[in-house]
Amino acid sequence: MSHLLSVSDLHVGFGKDPVANEVVHGIGFTLDPGETLAIVGESGSGKSVTALSVNRLVDFGGGKITGGRIDFTLGSGAVIDLAAAPEKELAAIRGREIGMIFQEPMTSLNPVHAIGEQIAESFRLHHGLTGKQAMRAAIDALERVRIPDAARRLKYHPHQLSGGMLQRVMIATALSCNPRLLIADEPTTALDVTVQAQILALLSELKRESEMGLVFITHDIGLVAGIADKVMVMQNGKAVEQGRPMRCSMIRSIPIRSIF
């Protein structure tokens, strides 16, 4: 059986000469449905670039995939190489098959729109729902991430909600189309510790409910033990360690040690 996501020998570079300015040097990993892969590493180790390459958002930041394959199994069972797919196909896959949440919930939502509309956006795009139906679906999505009184909250603007609530909204938006893969780029870094725990619990619950794969990026190695099935430690654009969490060798490979 093929994996949900299988990345092999991925090279990503930036700028006019992406081969010379390579920042990710030959990363490879696999992920099965219902599995969580944690990518851990210090700042600048290439973990976010790796994750952004999976849904090819890296293209918009001036990056380019210079080598390797990203094989992704679609809901229909077909396997597609995302590294080579044209932008049109990617746009249909983003949101529908691959969801993403970002580090800063405050800035990931547009300040001028009510949150309901922002959630409804992806229902309109991918399911062709009309105004009322999309709003109804948005209420369900908010209830799914355990936001109480969802119907009233739909009309709130981002500045009226707390960081934890906004991150729930982001998760609701990312999960609105039941993606098979969710990429979470440091989803709890901007939140305080108690909210962090809630969001992590919510993510694992939602993952169990829908059997989706989760790529979880963090620089907080403490979170990894609780949430991950697999860990990849990155340093300088290379995977320095891969395996199950909390092996002794992994603790030794925590990048900070190499500085001393």
Q: Residues in the site for another protein, rule: CB under 8 A?
A: 55, 57, 60, 91-96, 98-100, 102, 104, 107-113, 121-122, 125-126, 157, 159, 170, 173-174, 176
Nearer to another protein, 99 or 255 (CB): 99
Nearer to another protein, 185 or 241 (CB): 185
Radius of gyration (Cα) for the chain, nearest Å?
18
Q: What is the dihedral of CA 24, 26, 27, 32, to 10 degrees?
A: 140
| Burial profile 114-125: b = 16 or more Cβ within 10 angstroms, e = fewer | bbbbbbbbbbeb
Nearer to another protein, 154 or 250 (CB): 154
Nearer to another protein, 7 or 57 (CB): 57
Of residues 175, 230, 184, the one with CA closest to residue 206: 175
Of residues 126, 139, 191, the one with CA closest to residue 164: 191
Q: Do residues 116 and 106 touch, judged by C-beta distance below 8 A?
A: no
Nearer to another protein, 29 or 123 (CB): 123
Q: What interhelical angle do 163-175 and 193-210 show, nearest 10?
A: 20
Q: Can you read off the two tokens belonging to residue 190?
A: 């901007």
Q: CB 88 → another protein: shortest distance, Å?
A: 10
Q: CB 125 → another protein: shortest distance, Å?
A: 6
Q: CB 5 → another protein: shortest distance, Å?
A: 16
How many residues make up the chain in this entry?
260
Residues forming beta bridges with residue 73, ordered by sequence position:
79
Q: Can you read off the two tokens belonging to residue 57?
A: 């958002």
Q: Can you read off the two tokens belonging to residue 15?
A: 């700028």
Q: CB 233 → another protein: shortest distance, Å?
A: 25
Q: CB 57 → another protein: shortest distance, Å?
A: 6
Phi and psi torsions of 20, nearest 5°: -75, -35
Q: CB 238 → another protein: shortest distance, Å?
A: 25
Nearer to another protein, 97 or 241 (CB): 97
